[in-house]
Amino acid sequence: MNKSKYCTIYLVRHGRTDWNDKELIQGHTDTKLNLEGKDSAKKLAKSFKNIKFDKIYSSDLSRAKQTAEIIALEHKLAVETTTALRERFFGNIEGESHVLFKEMNEILDSLDDKARYSYKFNSNMLMESDEEVMNRFINFLREIAISHLGKTILIATHGGPMRILLAKLGIANYQKIVWIENLGYIKLESDGVDFFVKETSGVE
C-alpha cells in the first residue's frame, strides 16, 4: 500500500468522566474529564509519543477536547475543534440513566439494519439517528483524509460515532454490540473515499 495515497487517522474515545462512572447519558452535555480520565489520557499520550502526528482535531465537547489537549502536549501541537465530531445528541434523555438504553435497544433490535440506521424515536425526535450522526462524522473524516494524504492525524471523539462507523464499514454489526472503552482507539487509513481499519485497542 502506497502510504502517500492515504491519510492515517487515529480515532480516540475521550477519557472517563463522572457521568461515565454514574452511568448517565452524556450526549451533547458538556461534561469534563475526572481525575481517572486525565491520568489515563496522560498514559495514552506516552504510549503515542513515538507516533508523529501532523495535526490533532477534537470534538468541541470538553471531555474530548481535554483528552486531545493532553495528547497534544506530548507532541507540541495545537488542537482544532469541531461540532462534527460530537457524540450523538440524545435529546430529552441526556442526564438520564443508561437503563434507558435497554428499552431503546429492544425497539431497535426489532428492526432490520437499514431501518435501524435511519430510525427516529417518536417520543424523542430531537435525538440523532445513526444516519444523522454518520453524515456529519464521516464527511469530516473524508475532508481530513483528502487534505492530509500521507499525514498522520489524531482525532479525539466519542464512543457513539466510533461504534456507528465500525457498523457502517462492515467491521461490526447491530447483532454484535461493539463496546469501546474510554481511551480506546481505532487506527484507520483512508484516501478520502474508502476506509481501512488497521488496528484497534479497547474495542470489544
Catalytic residues: 14, 87
The total of other beta-carbon atoms located within 10 Å of residue 110's CB is 9
User: What nine digits make up the cell of 98?
Assistant: 443508561
Sequence-distant (6+) residues with CB within 8 A of 34 are 16, 17, 18, 21
| Positive or negative: CA dihedral 192, 194, 199, 203 | positive
With beta carbons less than 8 A apart as the criterion, state whether 157 and 85 touch: yes
**Residue 153 is inside which H or E element, if any?**
strand 152-157
Q: How far apart are CA 129 and CA 131, in angstroms?
A: 5
